[in-house]
Structure 1
Amino acid sequence: MAFNISRGYCMLSFSLKTFAILFFLVAGLFSVPVSSSACTGMRVIAKDGSVVWARSMEFGNYIDSALMVSPHGLQWTSPTPNDGHGLQWTAKYGFVGPNGFNLKVPLEGMNEKGLYAGGFWMKEGETKFPGVKPADYPNTVAQTHIIAWLLTNFATIDEVKAALPKIHVAGVEVEAIHQVVLCHWYVMDATGKAAVIESINGEVTITDNPVGVFTNAPSFEWHLTHLRQFINLRPDNVDSAQIGDYKALSLGEGTGLLGLPGDFTPPSRFVRAAVFANSVLQPDDADAAVALGMNLIAGFAISKGISRGVGGDGKPEYDYTQWTTVYDFARKAVYVRTYENQNYKVVHFDKLPMDGGKNLIIPLGQDYGTYEDVSDQAR
């Protein structure tokens, strides 16, 4: 991705009083309740066609996740509003992916065929699910079960596009957090082809994703439009600039990306992820792609206390990166690390009972990691 520099500047003159007012207005933002909406995902495609997806999960309080191992052949039933029964289906494919709050549905995951699906939190007012009548319940999939429906039924983006218009999408309350969770979804197949599923103003759409990254609110189309404001950015350094008779020399590396947003809001993370994922040197193979995905997503980790808010119960919340996943589509493996344990663990599909009769769980926990002692290697 190449970006050309082209900017306009304006100069403002502030009185000390004006500066003080603005300072306290900005500082006041830190006491405003914030939602947990800081997840980021990035695609990597190697020269040999190997595909990798790296994603972080942020939330304001501990969500108690574990890796679900869900076999093919399992029976699924979606809930509906008013405690009804929605679409029922039998899983064609098994999948692996993390859940949350001990729920029996994934927050994201990859299936046996290499289809990935993941939900990304949306703020209230940014998305709206369609109204669904009781007569439509037998063909309704709740937003809580969209990911499971996608992972257990489809192998490619084209299949998803063909099937999505045939169902109704409804919003149901998640008892663990006492609210109708709002989200939009990123879907990608083993070729790296990606799409975004959203419900804006009650209309469900699926849109191709040409940049291979994703975050939270607003809508995907808004993010693409916003990206146009940063077409000046490029990975190549700027050594100097002539300003009148003065030659300004660069202060170091990274001058081509001056102006890249560095905060943790969804729009800024989207821009940063798009620039990073599409500027890095393309890796040779799956091993290099996995390593690159781990390095890329590490730059989006949020430590406790950097993002502060107040929850619905009036207690402080600290949005932080609870876990990070890296999916190897070529070799069907999932790497995962937690906030406490920064050492990645790996799960290989070919070592799992994908033809079992029930969901299995691999704990993630909050234990701190152990580190290899290489003291005896000193020479």
Structure 2
Amino acid sequence: MCTAITLQSGQGETFFGRNMDFSYDIDPHIYIVPSGYEWNNVLNMRKIRNRYRFIGIGQELEGLLGFFDGVNEMGFAAAALYFAGYARYNTGPGNGQEESIASFEFLHYLLGNCANTEELKRLLRQVKITGLEDPVTRTVAPLHWIAADRGGNCVVIEQTDRGLEVFDNPIGVLANSPDFKWHMTNLRNYMEASPVQTEEAFWGDYRLTPFGQAGGTQILPGGYTSPARFVRTSYLKSFLPVPESRNEAVVSCFHIMESVTVPKGAVITSRNEYDYTRYTAFINTATCEYFFKTYDNIQVGTAGLYEEESPYQRLVNLGGI
């Protein structure tokens, strides 16, 4: 479970962020990775050299550093979300002309090497995403990805039975399964949702009136399923007044995510574990600043890309969540 959005301010700045909903114990930190940083591709131990400096939330475990979300110096931001039942990774060695990347290292690869969504589309022609067990879930975690650039362009990356696909994302929202095209089609079921309401109706000679306000929102789904979260987030983002300042944009982002934040106890998995919102984080792609809060600390913290200069710096501990 996770939800991600993009939002543009009246000043033209693009904000990108997500709720990180997870049932596995994680210990996320904010890391700064410098340009030119070299890391070992876990599939073949070949060195990969990053082109761009980036800041991201991730976790280092058993010598492996994986990222959940982040933004690089070019204002390119991306996040990984669960995609259960639909993700289909490559398993073979490929044709030798592609760069094979493990699914849990794919986000690191994107943040280190993409300047914008157009460059991402070109890069993916040379990449093969291979499923590999990660040290957090001890499974081949099913993932798909959302990415946005400083200009406000947004895409979704999914590898399914149809192969590796990149979809332009005009709504700027992503949740979990089913696939992105299904979610976009499903929005048509909620066309009548509106911030205004019908003030009266007559059934025969009998006059009906609403119970106060919000009658136009009755059609919206109220659960925590992926389709319900996708619809509610898309609705709120679409009708929100355009935030004029950076501060207004950050406040708006957090308020939108409150509607799909999962409290502990609302969802219990088949493993008898709570699935809940571990953290909420937003990024200003113009300034490469993070704004974040965790389940146990609702005060918004901040971190910036240029706060530290040391080679791959672990900057902030989000609290052992």
TM-score after normalising by structure 2: 0.94
Corresponding position of 2:36: 73
Are residues 1:247 and 2:247 paired? Answer: no
Alpha-carbon separation, structure 2, partners of 1:85 and 1:241: 68
Match of 2:48 in 1: 89
Give the drift of 1:197.
0.4
Count of matched residue positions in the alignment of Structure 1 and Structure 2: 319
Higher strand share: 2
2:201 match: secondary structure: strand
Q: Equivalent residue of 1:308, what SS?
A: coil
- Counterpart residue type for residue 70 of structure 1: V
DSSP-derived class of the 1:98 partner: strand
Q: Secondary structure at the match of 2:11?
A: coil
For residues 343-367 of structure 1, give each alpha carbon's deviation from its aligned partner in whole angstroms, at most 9, with x where no partner exists: 01100223232xx333434211159
Q: How does 1:142-153 map to 2 (within 5 A)?
A: 142-153=102-113
Matched position secondary structure for 1:224: helix
Match of 2:57 in 1: 98
Over the residues paired in the alignment, what is the CA RMSD in angstroms?
A: 1.8
Q: What is the DSSP-based 3-state SS (H/G/I as helix, E as strand, rest coil) of the residue aligned with 2:306?
A: helix
The structure whose Rg is larger is 1
Aligned to 1:115: 76
Q: CA deviation at 1:318?
A: 0.7
Which position in structure 2 is the counterpart of 1:307?
267
C-alpha distance in structure 2 between counterparts of 1:159 and 1:138, whole Å: 16
Please name the residue that 1:182 is paired with.
142
**Consecutive aligned runs of 4 or more in structure 1 exceeding 4 Å deviation:** none
1:220-235 → structure 2 map (5 Å cutoff): 220-235=180-195
- Does the 8 Å CA contact 1:118/1:186 hold for their aligned counterparts? yes
Partner in structure 2 of residue 128 of structure 1: 88
Q: Name 1:52's counterpart in structure 2.
A: 15
CA gap 1:359/1:105 in 2 versus in 1, 3 angstroms: farther
Query: What SS does structure 2 have at the residue aligned with 1:317?
Result: coil
Which string of whole-angstrom CA distances, capped at 9 and with x for unpartnered residues, describes residues 277-329 of structure 1? 11111111222111111111122211111101232xxxx21111111101112
Q: What does the per-residue CA deviation read over 1:7-28, in whole Å, with 9 as the maximum and x for residues that have no partner?
A: xxxxxxxxxxxxxxxxxxxxxx
In 1, distance between residues paired with 2:18 and 2:237?
A: 12
Contact 1:50-1:285 within 8 A present in 2 as well: no
Aligned partners of 2:25 and 2:293: how far apart in 1? 15
Q: Distance in 1 between matches of 2:54 and 2:70?
A: 7
What secondary structure does 2:227 align onto? helix
Task: Write 1 or 2 for the structure with the bigger share of helix.
Answer: 1
**Further displaced range: 235-244 or 201-210:** 235-244
- Structure 2 residue ranges without an equivalent (≥5): none
1:161 maps to 121
Aligned partner (choices 222, 230, 233) of residue 273 of structure 1: 233
Which consecutive residues of structure 1, in runs of 5 or more, have no partner in the other structure? 1-37, 368-379
* Superposed counterparts of 1:338-349, under 5 Å: 338-349=294-305
In the aligned structure 2, how far is the partner of 1:127 from the partner of 1:134? 18
In percent, how many aligned pairs have the same letter? 27
Question: Deviation string for 1:161-197 (max 9, x for gaps)?
Answer: 1111111111111133221011100010011110000
How far did residue 202 of structure 1 move? 5.7
Cα distance change on mapping 1:170 and 1:128 into 2, 3 Å: same
- Alignment partner of 2:40: what SS? strand
